[in-house]
Structure 1
């Protein structure tokens, strides 16, 4: 008798964009999903979900921060390295707990462009790590400094560089490239970008190369894909506009050769554009929040930081540079993106869930997360039929649930 064996029953599970009515068995001991033939075994804890939805734990691909922490603030000078490390860890744990409360079980920390010496100070804090009651940090996404200044968005133009100006190891550090860095966004039209993509593909094949903050033409992007790039960063935002004779990077969505992220917060993209992106290739579309440190904080005027030199104005999920219409990022949460996508596009809940689970796992090469199949991690988001997160489980253990909901032990 295995008392660690559990079963979600009377539920619907999200599998490849569809809701399937079936039981789901998993072990709180091994932390993995198990075959359904265990139904014959005695002592299984059966958890009746009363028709609710079981989704894979959500995967947050692009967040710049939340709960008052912007990741560019990590690794700052303090009275001692030990004090700094402990303070950084405490802040990251707060992020991980907020993520878990929105159904997220794994996330990558995005670091936008900073002064060249700061990369080696920030990135070591963002190596993969687990938290006792929060979502796992899976590494870092470096969004800069190899971006086009004319499409910088809220990035500090004075810190932007061409790949010819500095080597990868000088900038990021060899150890960081080997361990902490999981994704890099760059503009493929910059001098030296082609060689940089080739170097990354040869020396660091585990790092996903994404194209963004760019004026690149369609042909430039296609060449980059042929060299090893495999994604587009927040399509339509901070890139050349889509035109019927000059589609730019956005036109690559139709090739079936790349994943692409979008921000379905109702601010960065019109709902019809969200529909266009989702319907173009439902298995390659990825939802991101692009959240900043103001996520989880009240509306109002907030100070800038190392990346943002001016004050920031937060109005709901919309954040702009004070006195301008320049969008800095979003304060949207990933579960909100899922619900927005259903409302904007008319897609099903399971189709929207796929864009924050299976598609992300496939893009990032995560073979143990993101799908409800035997041998994968027992990471779950329990949802109602409207996509509201009721509980979050990691490795077969419940780490968060709404106060008014009971979802087993």
Structure 2
């Protein structure tokens, strides 16, 4: 008998967009969810959740930073010590726990050509004591369309014919660190780039974004192996009834697509449209930046942005412009926003930060409440507020232990 066996009881489980009244068994020693039918009442620590909700640990797919940490600043020009880099990443991982996130990918937006191989290695997958697990890096650039650059610096953008991904990011980084690449499929050489990444680094997920591609160009990219759209509608051509652009690909069932449900990047009606287009392939991201958690006002730029940044609540723009830089929303806030904006139920919103992301990224260890998966959970009240976060079968954060 596994003496570390625990059971959540008197609870609702988030399973495939539905709330299911069911007990959940898991092993604290193995750190895994276990089959219910193996066990009887003896030797089980039963945890009464009093009707609260159990979801898989949230997965943060796209964050540029938070609470003063921006990933473009890591190891910049060798000026930062490994210890300081580790401290900053650990702090991000602790903040993520308080929002129900148990694993995350770090996004590096477009930087100078010689900076990629200095920044990306710092984001290698690893665990932290009392922190969400870092699963690797998302490189958002530099193969982006200048006409859809958003807040990316135009001088740093490249076409795939100008430089190879191996030279740009580093072969070892592509093998061990980079898990997601966002590119514009209409650029010269993008077709060959997609083919190269698929052949040499098949674990890397290719997403289309910051792009003026037509529907047809996007469809070709999907046929070659691209799997997703990055913050669809933002920094892409608008959806038009005769020229749907990349946004039209949401209706094909052939790709995942991320959206930013912060109430700023998308109108609630467009968020509703996105979720209804394909509930199993819609993914929520925060696209958060280092100003998340910091006071409103004017803040300095960083490795991606030379200009100063202006923060008003969750909205951040380049000072003196309407150009959105990113969001200061948190992932649990995105979930609650989706319920408020679209009328979906809480489990449907949670699916967009758990199961859908796990499927998109080929993640087989987490993201779903099924036997054999990691015992990573977020305990929520009926309104979707995080009460507790669990990793590997043990509680690692509660409302009374905020970082």
Residues 54 and 382 in structure 1, CA contact (< 8 A), matched pair in contact too: yes
Cross-structure match for 1:59: 59
Cross-structure match for 2:37: 37
Q: 2:341 aligns with which of 337, 340, 344?
A: 344
State the Cα distance separating 1:38 from its structure 2 match: 4.1
Unpaired stretches in structure 2, ≥5 consecutive residues: none
Question: Structure 1 residues 337-346 or 35-44, which shifts more?
Answer: 35-44
Q: 2:309 aligns with which of 309, 312, 317?
A: 312
Cross-structure match for 2:265: 268
4+ residue runs of structure 1 moved beyond 4 angstroms? none
SS of residue matched to 2:94: helix
Map 1:324-363 onto structure 2 (within 5 A): 324-363=321-360
Cross-structure match for 2:119: 122
Cross-structure match for 2:384: 387
> Matches of 2:394 and 2:293 in 1, distance apart?
25
SS of residue matched to 2:107: strand
Residues 11 and 51 in structure 2, CA contact (< 8 A), matched pair in contact too: yes
Cross-structure match for 2:191: 194
SS of residue matched to 1:213: coil
| CA offset digits 1:99-139 (Å, max 9, x no partner) | 01000001000000000000000000111100110100000
> Matches of 2:34 and 2:295 in 1, distance apart?
42
Q: 2:216 aligns with which of 205, 214, 219?
A: 219
SS of residue matched to 1:165: coil
State the Cα distance separating 1:226 from its structure 2 match: 0.3
Alignment pair present for 1:241 and 2:224: no
Cross-structure match for 1:151: 148
Residues 76 and 84 in structure 1, CA contact (< 8 A), matched pair in contact too: no
Residues 289 and 326 in structure 2, CA contact (< 8 A), matched pair in contact too: yes
Cross-structure match for 2:290: 293
State the Cα distance separating 1:76 from its structure 2 match: 1.9
> Matches of 2:378 and 2:152 in 1, distance apart?
33
Cross-structure match for 1:99: 96
> Matches of 1:167 and 1:284 in 2, distance apart?
30
> Matches of 1:299 and 1:139 in 2, distance apart?
30
How many residues get paired?
402
Cross-structure match for 2:26: 26
Cross-structure match for 1:8: 8
Residues 376 and 390 in structure 2, CA contact (< 8 A), matched pair in contact too: yes
> Matches of 2:303 and 2:370 in 1, distance apart?
42
| CA offset digits 1:345-398 (Å, max 9, x no partner) | 000000000000000000000001100000000000100010000010001011
> Matches of 1:255 and 1:191 in 2, distance apart?
25
Taking structure 1 as the reference length, what is the TM-score of the superposition? 0.97
Residues 187 and 213 in structure 1, CA contact (< 8 A), matched pair in contact too: yes
> Matches of 1:7 and 1:52 in 2, distance apart?
14
State the Cα distance separating 1:3 from its structure 2 match: 2.5
The CA RMSD over aligned residues, in Å, is 1.1
Unpaired stretches in structure 1, ≥5 consecutive residues: none
| CA offset digits 1:62-113 (Å, max 9, x no partner) | 000001011000112456xxx6111001000000000010000010000000
